[in-house]
C-alpha cells in the first residue's frame, strides 16, 4: 500500500508540473493571438486591393506576360508548405502536411514532378526523416513572420518560375497554408499562385460593381512587370500571417484542453492515493487488533 501511495504521489507531482507548462503555453499563445489577428486584419485590405489591381490589368490588357500563361516546356511544379516551428498546437502541422501530401499525390498522378519548398521546423523534420529532398527550407519565424522573410521566400519561388526548364524551372507554384477563420476554426487551404490565378475574386465580398476601364502608363507590360512580383510577395506574406494566427489559435486551444486533462488526472490520482492510504490504515488497524487478540488469548 505504501508503495502505491508513493507511485500516485509521484504521478501527481509530475502531472502538476506538466499542467504548469501547459498553462504557461496557453497564456503565451493567448497574449500573442491578438496581435497576430490584428496583423491579418491590417494585411487583408492591401492584399485584396493588389488582387483587384492585378485582376484589372490582366483583364483589360492583351499582354501575354510569363506570369499569366501556362508553361508547356516543363513538368516541374513548386509547392510551398507553411507549417509551424514548434509543437503543442494539436493537429495544426499534421493537418497542413496531410493536405500537402494529397496535393503532391494529385500532381504526381497527372505526370508532374514536385519541388518542395517548406517553411517551419515541424515540416522540415517530417520530410527530412523520410529523406525527401527539399528545394528550399525556412524556419524560426512561424508565429511572427516578417516582410523580409516573405520577400526571401517569394524571390526563391519567382526565380524558380522564371528559370529555364533545363535549369530546374517550374511551370506552376502552389501554396499550402492554414487559413484563419476564427479562434475555433482554422482550415488548410491550397491555392495556385502562378500562373496567376485570382484566389479572392476581383472584388471584396458583397461588392458586385463592374470594374472600370483602365489606361496604363507607361505600358501594360511595364505595369505587369512591376505589379506581379509585388502581388506574389504580398500574397505569400498574407499567407504567412494567416498561418501564424492559425498556429497560435490552435496552440491556445490545445493547451487549454491539455490543462483540463491534467486537472482531471490530478483528481484521479488524488482519489487513488487516498484510497491507497485508507487501505493502508485499515490494514494497520486490522493487524493491531489481530495482535491484541493473540496476546489476550495467550
Mean pLDDT for all residues in the chain: 86
Strongest mean pLDDT among 44-53, 59-68, 124-133, 223-232: 124-133
pLDDT value, residue 92: 93
Q: Which residue reads 496604363 in cell numbers?
A: 216
Task: State yes or no: pLDDT of 224 exceeds 50.
Answer: yes
Task: Compute the distance between CA of residue 158 and CA of residue 173 in angstroms, rounded to an integer.
Answer: 9
Q: What digits encode the pLDDT tens for the residues 58-114?
A: 776 677 777 877 888 889 999 999 999 998 898 999 999 999 999 999 999 999 999
Q: Tell me which of 44-53, 76-85, 107-116, 207-216 is least confident.
A: 207-216
Least Cα distance to 135 among 113, 109, 112 occurs for 113
DSSP state of 287: H
* 174 vs 87 pLDDT, higher one: 174
Is residue 259 within 8 A of residue 22, CB to CB? The reply is yes
Task: State yes or no: pLDDT of 32 exceeds 80.
Answer: yes
Order of strands across the sheet that contains 172-180:
136-138, 113-119, 76-82, 172-180, 186-194
pLDDT value, residue 211: 54
pLDDT value, residue 188: 94
Cell numbers describing residue 206: 458583397
pLDDT value, residue 53: 79
Q: Which residues contact 66 (CB under 8 A, 6 or more apart)?
A: 161, 162
pLDDT value, residue 197: 59
Task: State yes or no: pLDDT of 198 exceeds 60.
Answer: no
Cell numbers describing residue 106: 494529385
Task: Compute the distance between CA of residue 283 and CA of residue 292 in angstroms, rounded to an integer.
Answer: 14
Task: State yes or no: pLDDT of 203 exceeds 50.
Answer: no
Task: State yes or no: pLDDT of 298 exceeds 70.
Answer: no
pLDDT value, residue 199: 43
pLDDT value, residue 209: 52
Task: State yes or no: pLDDT of 207 exceeds 60.
Answer: no
pLDDT value, residue 214: 67
* 119 vs 273 pLDDT, higher one: 119
pLDDT value, residue 212: 57
DSSP state of 202: S
Strongest mean pLDDT among 3-12, 81-90, 189-198, 204-213: 81-90
Amino acid at each position: 500500500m505504501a508503495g502505491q501511495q508513493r507511485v500516485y504521489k509521484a504521478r501527481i507531482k509530475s502531472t502538476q508540473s506538466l499542467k504548469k507548462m501547459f498553462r504557461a503555453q496557453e497564456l503565451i499563445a493567448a497574449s500573442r493571438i491578438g496581435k497576430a489577428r490584428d496583423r491579418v486584419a491590417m494585411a487583408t485590405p492591401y492584399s485584396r486591393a493588389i488582387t483587384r489591381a492585378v485582376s484589372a490589368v490582366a483583364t483589360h490588357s492583351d499582354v501575354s506576360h510569363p506570369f499569366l500563361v501556362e508553361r508547356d516546356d516543363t513538368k516541374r511544379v513548386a509547392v510551398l508548405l507553411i507549417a509551424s516551428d514548434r509543437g503543442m498546437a494539436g493537429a495544426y502541422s499534421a493537418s497542413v502536411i496531410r493536405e500537402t501530401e494529397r496535393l503532391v499525390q494529385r500532381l504526381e498522378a497527372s505526370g508532374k514532378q514536385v519541388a518542395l519548398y517548406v517553411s517551419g521546423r515541424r515540416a522540415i523534420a517530417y520530410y527530412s526523416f523520410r529523406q525527401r529532398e527539399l528545394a528550399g527550407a525556412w524556419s524560426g519565424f512561424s508565429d511572427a513572420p516578417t516582410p523580409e522573410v516573405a520577400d526571401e521566400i517569394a524571390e526563391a519561388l519567382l526565380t524558380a518560375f522564371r528559370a529555364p526548364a533545363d535549369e530546374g524551372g517550374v511551370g506552376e507554384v502552389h501554396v499550402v497554408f492554414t487559413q484563419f477563420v476564427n479562434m475555433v476554426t482554422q482550415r488548410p487551404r491550397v491555392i495556385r499562385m502562378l500562373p496567376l490565378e485570382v484566389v479572392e475574386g476581383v472584388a471584396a465580398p458583397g461588392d458586385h460593381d463592374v470594374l472600370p476601364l483602365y489606361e496604363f502608363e507607361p505600358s501594360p507590360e511595364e505595369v505587369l512587370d512591376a505589379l506581379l512580383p509585388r502581388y506574389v510577395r504580398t500574397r505569400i506574406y498574407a499567407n504567412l500571417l494567416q498561418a501564424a494566427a492559425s498556429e497560435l489559435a490552435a496552440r491556445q486551444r490545445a493547451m487549454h484542453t491539455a490543462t483540463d486533462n491534467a486537472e482531471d488526472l490530478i483528481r484521479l490520482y488524488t482519489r487513488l492515493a487516498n484510497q491507497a492510504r485508507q487501505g493502508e490504515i485499515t490494514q494497520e488497524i486490522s493487524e493491531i487488533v489481530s495482535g491484541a487478540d493473540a496476546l489476550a488469548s495467550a
